[in-house]
Chain A
Amino acid sequence: MAEFELDCLGEACPVPLMKTEKKLASLAAGDVLVVHIDHSCAMKNVPEWARKQGYNVEVEEVDDGEWDVIIEK
């Protein structure tokens, strides 16, 4: 039940999604990944992909134009 972070600030689509996919593959079930993003289309496609995989996803707006996507594997 470890928590991991992934810094995708300043990265444009589709890099945040590709990095999230890669990182999540190395995590164990129950682990939590927090992805930091500031690209609004990643705020749509990262949660969309993760929900399709059946993970629990929450999106939090932490600042103007900045989000944390919290994914539980």
Chain B
Amino acid sequence: MKQLWEKISKNRYYQMVFKNPFTYITGAVLLSIMQIALFAYSGNPWGVSGTFANWGAWLYQLFGGSVEKWFYFSSSGAQATLDAGILSHTGTMLNVGLIFGALLATLLASQFKFKKIKSLRQVVAAVLGGLLMGYGARLAGGCNIGALFSGVASLSLSGWVFAAFLLVGAFIGSKLLAKFFM
């Protein structure tokens, strides 16, 4: 078994496909092809963060809450999605696939590792950053996938506006990072 693994790990094609990171161009082409396939299949371009809002709503409903009166879920389309349930929600399948796909990729490259948490500061920054990104993505009507990648791919001007302010945010974020983490 060990011998077989050593043989596989030296194989040129294994290294090309599973071990070494793809170039940016390869990644971009693959993303575009899958974006087209997804659009043809589901009728919607790819999005990630909108699904989290739905997960929150379903979780809230599970504990007996109701989101019918919330402005965010007030459209008939949003209500229909919530009523159809989590199992028939394409976005949920995509996000679950994303998580397991990433796990599979890191396992196949033999790079899986539990990382140690360095400091409390790191935890606070991660939680704060996550909350800000999630809240911001809902205010902006999408994240860097739904608003930027899918927006630009739909030839919508909003994607480019999003990109401009993403750069502003990244600039401020890097300054904060340098201030608190260096």
Q: Is B178 an interface residue (CB 8 A)?
A: yes
Are A64 and B177 in contact, CB atoms less than 8 angstroms apart?
no
Interface-facing stretch out of B65-73, B81-89, B110-118, B153-161: B110-118
Q: Is A18 an interface residue (CB 8 A)?
A: yes
A-B CB pair tally, cutoff 8 Å: 38
Give chain B interface residues in 125-182, CB to chain A under 8 Å: 174, 177-178, 181-182
Known pairs A9-B116, A10-B116; A40 contacts B21 (CB<8 A): yes
Q: Closest A residue to B19 by CB, please name it.
A: A61
Are B112 and A64 in contact, CB atoms less than 8 angstroms apart?
yes
B-contact bits for A1-40, CB 8 A (1 contact / 0 none): 0000000011100110011001000000000000000111
Q: Closest B residue to A7 by CB, please name it.
A: B118
Give chain B interface residues in 90-124, CB to chain A under 8 Å: 106, 110-113, 115-118, 122
Which of chain B's residues have a CB closer than 8 A to the CB of A19? 182
Assembly CA distance A19 to B182 (angstroms): 7
Minimum Cβ distance to chain B for residue A8 (Å): 9
Are B177 and A15 in contact, CB atoms less than 8 angstroms apart?
yes
User: Number of B residues contacting the other chain (C-beta, 8 Å)?
Assistant: 16
Are A22 and B118 in contact, CB atoms less than 8 angstroms apart?
no
Are A22 and B113 in contact, CB atoms less than 8 angstroms apart?
no
Minimum Cβ distance to chain A for residue B60 (Å): 30
Known pairs A11-B118, A40-B21; A65 contacts B177 (CB<8 A): no
Pick from A11, A43, A64: contact of B110, CB under 8 Å: A64
Q: Is A44 an interface residue (CB 8 A)?
A: yes
Q: Closest A residue to B21 by CB, please name it.
A: A44
Are A64 and B113 in contact, CB atoms less than 8 angstroms apart?
yes
CB-defined A-B contacts under 8 Å, sample of 17: A10-B115, A10-B117, A11-B118, A14-B174, A15-B182, A18-B177, A18-B181, A22-B182, A38-B113, A38-B115, A63-B113, A64-B110, A64-B111, A64-B112, A65-B111, A65-B112, A66-B113
B residues near A (Cβ < 8 Å) are 21, 106, 110-113, 115-118, 122, 174, 177-178, 181-182
Q: Which 9 A-B pairs have the closest CB atoms?
A: A65-B113, A65-B111, A10-B118, A10-B116, A10-B115, A64-B110, A15-B181, A44-B21, A38-B113
